[in-house]
């Protein structure tokens, strides 16, 4: 999933707290927590999806490929990011 440069400019400094908040607004629920890792789930049965977030207080994802892979696993499009008010 490729995002436009204008989108990357807005999300490159997203913190883990902001990402977790957006996940919860989108219906993801924290399933379990081990240390700094929180696993969020969404859906039931065969449609159940999981994503693990390494929470670091007030830290952003410095690596574009890591953040891109995470957003791909979550399945958010540019429209989803706007709907969740992650970008303008």
Domains of the chain: 5-83 (3.30.920.30)
Q: Give pLDDT, residue 78.
A: 94
For the beta carbon of residue 87, count every other beta carbon within 10 angstroms: 17
Tens digit of each residue's pLDDT (9 = 90 or more) over 17-64:
999 999 999 999 999 998 899 999 999 888 899 999 988 877 887 778
Q: Kindly tell me the number of DSSP H helices and DSSP E strands found in the chain.
A: 4, 3
Is the model's pLDDT at 1 over the cut of 70? no
Cβ proximity of 65 and 25 under 8 Å: no
Is the model's pLDDT at 75 over the cut of 80? yes
């Amino acid at each position: 999933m490729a995002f436009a440069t204008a989108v990357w400019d807005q999300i490159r400094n997203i913190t883990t707290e902001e990402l977790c908040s957006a996940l919860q607004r989108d219906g993801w629920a924290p399933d379990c927590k081990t240390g700094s890792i929180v696993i969020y789930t969404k859906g039931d049965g065969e449609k159940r999806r999981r994503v693990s977030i390494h929470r670091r207080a007030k830290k952003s994802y410095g690596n574009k490929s890591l953040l891109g892979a995470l957003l791909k696993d979550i399945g958010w499009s540019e429209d989803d990011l706007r709907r969740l008010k992650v970008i303008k």
